Amino acid sequence: VVANKPQAKQLRRASRCYIGEPFLFMRRFLLILLTVLAAASLSAQGKIRELLAAKAPEGCVEQSWDVDGVKRTALVRVPSGVTGPLALVFCWHGHGGRSTHSARHWGYPEIDKTSILVFPQGLPTVSPLVDKEGRMPGWQTSVTSEGGRDMRLFDVILTDLKKKHAVDDRRIYSMGHSNGAAFSYLLWQGRPDVLAAIGSVAGSLRGDGKPTTPLPVIHVAGKNDPLVKFAWQQATFVAVRRFNSCAEEGQPWAKEGVVDATIYASTKGAPLVTAIHDGGHEYAKGSTELIVRFFKENPKSAK
């Protein structure tokens, strides 16, 4: 029981200190947290809008094919003013990506002006890492998964383009980012006699992947990749060196943008280039320049 007014006043002051101030602190904290979450949500929405709104670069035309009764599409860039048999490069976006975004932001049409470029569009695909419900577009993750639909897409596009254009059979390549990079590794397993070389940016060779034919490989990896762990990609380097009979010690090869590349010579004409940067899972600056150079230096051997 409070005996007098001074004691009551003192008690009210204490209650504000022990009850009111923590409450006000929590209120401020929640307001700050909600502001941060709202900003993050707006940032994510902005990235999604950027992907969906990206326009194809000049010269890239959407084409479509029927593959097992499903309409499949890709952006195709045929170089103008270039004669003779043409190199052909397939460029596969990452999981959740869009062909228009890859065509515009990877810079391939500006850097490689002499090859036919193909940017296919994926279908909704399950990804154990980022999309277990399979709501976003991507590529099959094993040689037989998804009924082999994307392998057949590759075959259908290749057959069609060879009918329409003079494609050089010694210069057919596949590259991609993340899930698209992993799919390029699958094409090495499933179509080794077709491809001259492959390129990977932030991808990996599956643990059960067993290529049977040596093939030149360039692989770009970020040391701080939070999704496709750098350790997984290092394991891919070891496997590729073994498949391709590469030297254990590499030599400096090139530096472009933020990427520093090392080449491992092969006794079977199938070198490995590891191009490393300090970033994460992004498509690192300089990747396309290095991949274009590597592909041009590695046509398929004449039989």
pLDDT number for residue 13: 56
How much is the average pLDDT of 180-206? 96
Q: How confident is the model at residue 124 (pLDDT cuts 50, 70, 90)?
A: very high
Which tokens is 120 given? 């296919």
Distance CA 241, CA 218 (A): 11
Distance CA 173, CA 188 (A): 10
For 268-299, what is each residue's pLDDT tens digit? 999 999 999 999 999 999 999 999 999 999 99
For 213-246, what is each residue's pLDDT tens digit? 999 999 999 999 999 999 999 999 999 999 999 9
Decide the pairing of beta strands 272-277 and 259-264.
antiparallel
Kind plus residue range of the DSSP H or E element containing 218:
strand 217-222
How much is the average pLDDT of 136-164? 96
Alpha-helical (H) ranges within 147-286 are: 149-164, 179-190, 230-243
Q: Within 13 Å and on the Cβ side, how many CA atoms surround 203?
A: 30
Backbone angles phi, psi at 165, to 5 degrees: -135, 160
pLDDT number for residue 48: 46
For 103-119, what is each residue's pLDDT tens digit? 999 999 999 999 999 99
pLDDT number for residue 47: 47
Q: Is the pLDDT of residue 146 over 80?
A: yes
Q: Is the pLDDT of residue 55 over 90?
A: no
Distance CA 303, CA 213 (A): 15
At 41 the three-state DSSP class reads helix
Distance CA 257, CA 168 (A): 30
Q: Is the pLDDT of residue 19 over 50?
A: no
How much is the average pLDDT of 175-197? 97
Q: Which residue has the higher pLDDT, 37 or 137?
A: 137
- How many Cβ atoms sit within 10 Å of the Cβ of residue 134? 14
pLDDT number for residue 27: 65
Q: Is the pLDDT of residue 32 over 80?
A: no
Distance CA 54, CA 100 (A): 6
